[in-house]
């Protein structure tokens, strides 16, 4: 008898941390939905990597910051896959637009908060009911050191990630009895496209471990939280920052 297909959705799955999580999900037997907003080529590369890893999946284009667009994309997928349940959601999509608050334009505030915090709501809410009915689900939110301690020049990013941290703790309490866990991972500096503009050599001096994190290390932690071994862990924010902030 063939095992039923397990489905996982990773937002911002085309590059960086999202891509690494997609690859590891594929190796663990998940059919992976790779969400992206604009870079179809990179999303396709992730899908090729998923297939090379022995798994399968598809790309799913929508902007997590746009509620109606996100809801329509998810509903259309569910219509095409009757009876399928997306049991794992990794809310990874996020953008930076760093500047001091006194210079921050409204668009810089709203785009970052709408993507990071609004995206969590827009993606998670329409998928919750199926998880609760199935009595199983894993929600992993990729947040940031910025959301825990705040970083100057990142008031918008810190607000978005801090909001998701608070939402993680609240939602975890709402759904725990139904076998759904909700956790957050708070990386420090990770070597990805998003941090390519930072002075790595200078920043490494502040990190006790003496290096940036690799995206694969974040993905390994995500996979543990998704696994059955973490079924009693929920509402947690787990830092992975090389000792930068404890």
Q: Map residue 232 onto helix, strand or coil.
A: coil
Q: In the 8-state DSSP scheme, what is residue 3?
A: P
What is the C-alpha separation between 34 and 186, in angstroms, rounded? 21
**Of 30, 157, 232, 245, catalytic:** 157
The answer to whether 167 and 120 are in contact (CB under 8 A) is yes
What is the C-alpha separation between 237 and 146, in angstroms, rounded? 13
Q: Map residue 38 onto helix, strand or coil.
A: coil
What is the C-alpha separation between 8 and 1, in angstroms, rounded? 22
What is the C-alpha separation between 45 and 50, in angstroms, rounded? 9
Contacts of 133 (CB under 8 A, 6+ apart): none
What is the C-alpha separation between 99 and 108, in angstroms, rounded? 9
Q: Is 121 one of the annotated active-site residues of the chain? A: no
Q: Map residue 244 onto helix, strand or coil.
A: coil
Q: How many residues does the chain have?
A: 246
Angle between helix 155-175 and 119-134 (nearest 10): 10
The residues carrying an active-site annotation are 157
């Amino acid at each position: 008898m063939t095992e039923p297909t397990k489905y996982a959705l990773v937002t911002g799955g085309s590059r960086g941390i999202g891509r690494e999580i997609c690859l590891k999900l594929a190796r663990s037997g998940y059919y992976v939905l790779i969400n992206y907003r604009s870079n179809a080529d990179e999303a396709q590369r992730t899908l090729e990597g998923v297939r090379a890893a022995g798994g399968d999946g598809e790309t799913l284009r929508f902007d997590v910051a746009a509620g109606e667009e996100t809801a329509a994309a998810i509903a259309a997928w569910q219509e095409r896959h009757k009876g399928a349940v997306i049991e794992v959601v990794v809310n990874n999509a996020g953008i930076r637009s760093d500047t001091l608050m006194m210079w921050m334009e409204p668009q810089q505030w709203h785009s970052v908060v709408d993507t990071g915090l609004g995206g969590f709501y827009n993606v998670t809410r329409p998928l919750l009911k199926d998880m609760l009915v199935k009595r199983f689900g894993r929600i992993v939110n990729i947040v940031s050191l910025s959301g825990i301690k705040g970083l100057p020049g990142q008031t918008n990013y810190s607000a978005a990630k801090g909001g998701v941290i608070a939402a993680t703790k609240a939602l975890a309490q709402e759904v725990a009895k139904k076998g759904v866990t909700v956790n957050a991972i708070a990386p420090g500096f990770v070597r990805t496209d998003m941090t390519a503009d930072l002075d790595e050599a200078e920043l490494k001096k502040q990190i006790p471990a003496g290096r940036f994190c690799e995206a694969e290390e974040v993905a390994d932690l995500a996979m543990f939280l998704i696994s059955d071994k973490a079924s009693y862990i929920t509402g947690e924010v787990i830092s992975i920052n090389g000792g930068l902030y404890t």
